[in-house]
């Protein structure tokens, strides 16, 4: 029996080997075993972990919770966000910018005082006539613009209002009333008037008008936007005033408190035309090139302390030393 089984196994092996020698089956075996990849393995070794996961868990939003938050009030929503440790968002708020002053003088041109007295044969008279004609045209155009916003504006009537603003502003400056001064002057003129008198005392008095005041210039301009319009009117004032400024120690800094002096000024007044509640305020001064120079400030200095006795003793000692050295 043992031999019989061995012979049977040999016959089956021979049959299997003969079957493998079949060319058709040999081709199938070659096709099955061709390629570099192993059986049941992906050819790309990357992303094994992702391929191993059969599905991915997608974090879907909780629509019920979102619906509840939409129905919550702002106070309850802030409490809910604080419980979750989330900072509540701040709503975007646009703050408007209020511009109550232009911050500059539109045109510093002032007509010459002796313009009508100069002959036409003088050199440069033609250019002056051209400038004066442009000046008149700009004044008329600015006057029409001002009257389109303020129908009651009249340059002749405005003189009284301008003089009142001028007197009240200087009185408030003398009394150091900052609230009243803010109402009478613009933000452009306030620092120049207030800071100049820091740690100083002002004594000012209006005596009289030498010549009647008159409007010499009117200008309008827009700031940042075309509908944000400001108007500036320049008034010529020739007056007599008393002015004296003292420093913090009571010493005279400038001027004279008793002697009146003639003062020629070109005061600029400004109004915010786009503002329904805008009013005329003192804005600045124009100083022409042909006007006389300002008064110089009185110089102040510390008086040196001199001790005559000490200097005499030093001189005597030096003389004695010289005598001894010579001997």
Report pLDDT digits (tens) over 236-282.
Answer: 999 999 999 998 888 888 888 899 999 999 999 999 999 888 999 99
Interval 277-309: pLDDT, tens: 899 999 999 887 766 666 666 666 677 776 655
With H, G, I as helix, E, B as strand and everything else as coil, classify residue 121. Answer: coil
Mean pLDDT calculated for residue range 8-12: 73
User: Domains plus CATH for the chain?
Assistant: 131-285 (3.10.450.240)
Left, alpha or beta for 199 (phi > 0: left; psi -120 to 50: alpha)?
A: left
pTM of the model: 0.61
* pLDDT higher than threshold 90 for residue 100: no
Side by side, which strands form the sheet with 252-272?
201-222, 229-246, 252-272, 281-285
When the pLDDT of each residue in the chain is averaged and rounded to a whole number, the result is 79
In sequence order, the 6+-apart residues with CB closer than 8 A to the CB of 125 are: 118, 119
Least confident of 12-21, 142-151, 178-187, 193-202: 12-21
């Amino acid at each position: 029996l043992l031999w019989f089984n061995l012979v049977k196994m040999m016959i089956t092996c021979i049959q299997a080997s003969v079957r493998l020698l079949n060319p058709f089956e040999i081709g199938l075996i070659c096709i099955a075993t061709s390629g570099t990849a192993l059986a049941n393995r992906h050819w790309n070794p990357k992303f094994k972990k992702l391929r191993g996961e059969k599905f991915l868990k997608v974090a879907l939003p909780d629509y019920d919770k979102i619906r509840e938050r939409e129905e919550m009030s702002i106070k309850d929503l802030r409490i809910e966000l604080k419980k979750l440790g989330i900072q509540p968002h701040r709503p975007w708020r646009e703050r408007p910018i209020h511009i109550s002053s232009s911050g500059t003088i539109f045109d510093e041109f002032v007509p010459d005082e002796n313009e009508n007295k100069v002959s036409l044969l003088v050199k440069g008279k033609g250019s002056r006539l051209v400038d004066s004609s442009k000046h008149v045209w700009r004044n008329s155009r600015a006057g029409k613009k001002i009257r389109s916003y303020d129908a009651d504006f009249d340059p002749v009537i405005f003189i009284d209002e301008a003089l009142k603003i001028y007197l009240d502003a200087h009185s408030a400056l003398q009394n150091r009333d900052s609230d009243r001064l803010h109402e009478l002057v613009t933000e452009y003129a306030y620092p120049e008037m207030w800071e100049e008198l820091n740690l100083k005392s002002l004594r000012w008095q209006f005596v009289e008008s030498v010549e009647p005041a008159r409007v010499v210039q009117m200008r309008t301009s827009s700031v940042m936007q075309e509908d944000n319009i400001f108007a500036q009117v320049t008034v010529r004032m020739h007056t007599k005033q008393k002015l004296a400024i003292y420093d913090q120690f009571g010493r005279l800094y400038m001027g004279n408190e008793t002697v009146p002096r003639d003062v020629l000024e070109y005061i600029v007044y400004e109004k915010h035309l786009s503002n329904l509640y805008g009013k005329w305020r003192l804005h600045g001064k124009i100083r022409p090139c042909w006007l006389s120079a300002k008064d110089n400030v009185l110089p102040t200095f510390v008086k040196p302390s001199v001790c005559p006795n000490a200097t005499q003793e030093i001189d005597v000692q030096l003389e004695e030393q010289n005598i001894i050295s010579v001997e």
